Chains A and B, each alone.
Chain A
Amino acid sequence: MAQSFASVSSAVRRSPQMPDHNFRYWIIAPSVFLLLLIGLFPLIYAFVVSFQQITMTDYDTSFAGLVNYQALFSDQRLWESILHTIVITVIALPVELILGLALAYLFLEKMYGKQIFISLIVLPTVISPIVSGATWRLLFDQRYGPINQVLSWIAGREVVMLWTIEPILVYPAILICEIWQWTPFMFLILLAALSNVDKSLTEAAELDGAGFWRIFLKIELPAIWPVMAIAILIRGVDLFRIFDMVWALTGGGPGTYTETISIYTYVQGFRQFETSYTAAIAFLIVALMSFVVTWAIRRMGLAK
């Protein structure tokens, strides 16, 4: 039986009707070509542009050397925008991670209506960031916003907090919106990871006399780490690219006080039309991010 199958399949392989092996490359060629066209070509073209001096008024395509890259170093607004982005990332990422983890622990227990609660918690993630930014802008509004209104009720007197204007309040506003929207993402992923941890391991540890922290650090954390590391990586990269939510909430203001690297790049490229200079910024970010992500993947042991 097995032998007859084997001979049939080898006969099929040798049959003259079958086209040669290169056929498989031919049939994927159009899509590969399309991908290269929309992916690789702009990248190379942007790289070329970054060595020219194209602006809105001057279409100067002559080779300008490293002029644009040199300008990056003395551009204070650029480095400030990178700093703003790092500040948002460094605060929002751990807070989302810890809140998400705490929520996930809460939902490991049996409870009524668990499915409904989980769906409700996950809702913010479904909303487009630009919509949530615009909505939070209304919520934070100093005159009509419900947040100041509620604070007034609690304080018992009129509270006027200029959430999107006052420098000391504007980062908390951004962080509240960001954390509100993306904690559920961490929650969902960590809940899935935690519910996959073999229950008999935690039970055995409990009987062995281990407390919550020992069980978490020695048993659960190593088990959920690969998933958690990916979640941190995805959210970290997302946060570094943050644009739409901040754009809708503060527009980068007051002044350039909350300008993130993505906002600055957008402003340079599509408001000021410093086309060649923007290309150089884009390549700086690509280089930075490639370095950080590669380092993180190694450090987290994900490349094993």
Chain B
Amino acid sequence: MSDVKISGLHKHFGAVHVLKGIDLEIPTGEFTVLVGPSGCGKSTLLRTIAGLEEVEQGEITISGQRMNDVRPRDRNIAMVFQNYALYPYLNVFENIAFGLRARKMPESEIKERVTSAAEMLGITGLLERFPRQLSGGQRQRVAIGRAIVRKAQLFLFDEPLSNLDAQLRDEMRGEIKKLHQTIDVTMIYVTHDQIEAMTLADRIVLMREGRIEQVGAPLDLYERPATHFVAGFLGSPKINFVHGEVLISGSEQVLRLVDGETISLPAIASTWPKNIILGIRPQYLGLASESRSPDDVRFSRIIDLIQPTGSRTYITVKLGGRDLVAEIESTSRGNVGDVLDLSFNRLNALFFDPATGRAL
């Protein structure tokens, strides 16, 4: 059990500044997911924690112990790699036992630990096989088995599910979450998949271009994104953004969209910049209902595109010159070319400053 503290971490690869000052605290026992688009530095951060990349500037401590100059093998960390990194010339038993043998554990204990890990992961029948004889999901299990027998203080996962097909990915995602509940160690998990991040994490660390954009519980980040980028990254289908201009007429503030539609805004809008971005998630944008609340914003649009997904259907219309996606019940979807009355509650809308990207 251990906590991880990172302060002022910088890293360059040649001329590229990959990590631009990372400050992060990961409490003991927590499942933290580092998420962000490709090239945001999340894998580099993970590899630096593992000791596979050197710390250039800044400090990493695990359980209060400074790790900058500690060799990877002395950090007591287990890591699952994207390509599983199973040793091709050793069978499954020896793959799992590798770390124990390296630490000169007695044979009887190795046998016991490997057997119990194999039972836990349901791979008891595969112990004699070689990695090349296993399917993707089985390899994944062996890689996890290799990590858990070590009883390491910290688990690192580097995009472990990205080589699996969609169905297996859902299954393994559940198993990793269950694993965390069973063995209760600190886990740091890197992914570019926001659904994986949302479902697995106790806490999400959302990164962008070498910096941490926002840290928080998954739903916090979803409901209260600190920036335009966070709002756009989390959620599927993507949040809708519409540009508009804040107009003040007497005591009332309204937002005028590019195509002339107006939305009345709360009183604090008087301190906002003139141009802002309105963000509204597809599930908050629905068919206009009979009972009208004072916070409702209504408008009618022609349907451009219909994408049924089962119980829900995504409808695309144009608003403010941009595509706007609404998520509605499949039973009331209409046809392309129909005019649809849509509405959203302005209390569910998010507002961003286009200059800084920050939420208002």
Contacts and interface: CB of A to CB of B under 8 A. Distances in A.
Contact of A219 (B52, B89, B150): B89
Given A205-B87, A219-B89, A223-B89, A214 B72 contact: no
A126 interface: no
B52 A223 contact: no
Interface in A172-229: 198, 200-201, 203-211, 214, 218-219, 222-223
Nearest to B47: A203
Residue among B52, B71, B77 with the highest chain A CB neighbour number at 10 A:
B52
A203 B52 contact: yes
B103 interface: yes
B79 A209 contact: no
Nearest to B77: A207
Nearest to B94: A218
B98 A201 contact: no
A206 B87 CA distance: 12
Contact of A201 (B52, B72, B73, B85): B85
Interface residues of B, number: 25
A210 B73 contact: yes
B87 A201 contact: yes
Residue among B51, B72, B83 with the highest chain A CB neighbour number at 10 A:
B72
Contacts of B79: 203-204, 207
B99 interface: yes
B89 A208 contact: no
A223 B146 contact: no
A218 B146 contact: no
Contact of B98 (A198, A208, A222, A223): A208
B78 interface: yes
Interface in B100-122: 101-103
B87 A219 contact: yes
Contacts of A210: 73, 98-99, 102
Given A203-B52, A218-B90, A218-B98, A209 B85 contact: no
Nearest to B104: A209
Nearest to B156: A207
A210 B146 CA distance: 13
Given A200-B83, A201-B85, A206 B72 contact: yes
Contacts of B82: 200
A65 B77 CA distance: 75
Residue among B51, B90, B99 with the highest chain A CB neighbour number at 10 A:
B99
Interface string A219-251: 100110000000000000000000000000000
Contact of B72 (A198, A207, A218, A219): A207
B81 interface: yes
A219 B137 CA distance: 23
A208 B143 CA distance: 12
B116 to A, nearest CB: 18
A209 B78 CA distance: 10
A222 B51 CA distance: 25
Contacts of B89: 218-219, 222-223
A208 B146 contact: yes
Contacts of A218: 87, 89-90, 98
Closest 6 CB pairs of A and B: A208-B99, A222-B89, A204-B85, A200-B85, A209-B102, A210-B102
Given A200-B82, A205-B98, 10 more contacts: A198-B83, A201-B85, A205-B87, A207-B72, A208-B98, A208-B102, A209-B99, A209-B102, A211-B102, A218-B98
Interface of B: 50-52, 71-73, 75, 77-79, 81-83, 85, 87-90, 98-99, 101-103, 146, 150
Interface of A: 198, 200-201, 203-211, 214, 218-219, 222-223
10 contacts: A200-B81, A204-B79, A205-B102, A207-B52, A208-B102, A209-B102, A218-B87, A218-B89, A219-B87, A222-B89
